């Protein structure tokens, strides 16, 4: 886990637990994002945020741009060295390894939520 990222939190898509997510809520955690990671988390939620880039990334990502209610306004694939455009109404961005959204059933209109962190046995 990145030093500035939060503990893992259950990620729900349309009320179904699909993964455990890191939540980047500080400027430094959002700025670092997934850069320089040897191993990607199941998901990373950046908030507040309205766009992301993959400059310096070597992997393709699934990206969902979320409104204030967690509804996916845009679901797309972000290839290395590309970026999303800032969009009005976007409050958060969900990133995951490419293929995760298809497994989770996350599509435009899906509602994404994270629940409070839970203690996990070591």
Domain of residue 110, CATH code = 2.60.120.1140
Residues in the chain: 122
Confidence of residue 30 (pLDDT cuts 50, 70, 90): confident
Which residue range forms the structural domain that includes residue 61?
Answer: 9-114
- What's the angle, vertex CA 35, arms to CA 112 and CA 26, rounded to 5? 60
The answer to whether residue 3 sits within a structural domain is no
The answer to whether residue 120 sits within a structural domain is no
| Number of domains observed in the structure of the chain | 1
Q: How far is CA 56 from CA 2, 42, 114, in A?
A: 17, 19, 27
pTM assigned to the model: 0.88
- Whole-number Å distance between alpha carbons of 49 and 45: 9
Residue 1 has pLDDT above 60, yes or no: no
The answer to whether residue 121 sits within a structural domain is no
The answer to whether residue 1 sits within a structural domain is no
């Amino acid at each position: 886990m990145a030093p500035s990222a939060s503990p893992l939190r259950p990620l729900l898509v349309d009320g179904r637990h699909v993964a455990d997510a890191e939540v980047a809520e500080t400027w430094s955690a959002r700025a670092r994002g997934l850069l320089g990671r040897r191993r990607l988390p199941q998901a990373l939620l950046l908030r507040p945020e309205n766009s992301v880039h993959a400059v310096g990334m070597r992997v393709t990502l699934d990206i969902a741009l979320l409104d204030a209610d967690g509804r996916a306004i845009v679901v797309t694939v972000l290839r290395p060295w590309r970026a999303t455009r800032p969009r009005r109404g976007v409050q958060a961005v969900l990133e995951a390894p490419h293929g995760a959204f298809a497994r989770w059933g996350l599509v435009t209109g899906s509602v994404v939520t994270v629940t409070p962190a839970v203690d996990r046995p070591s």
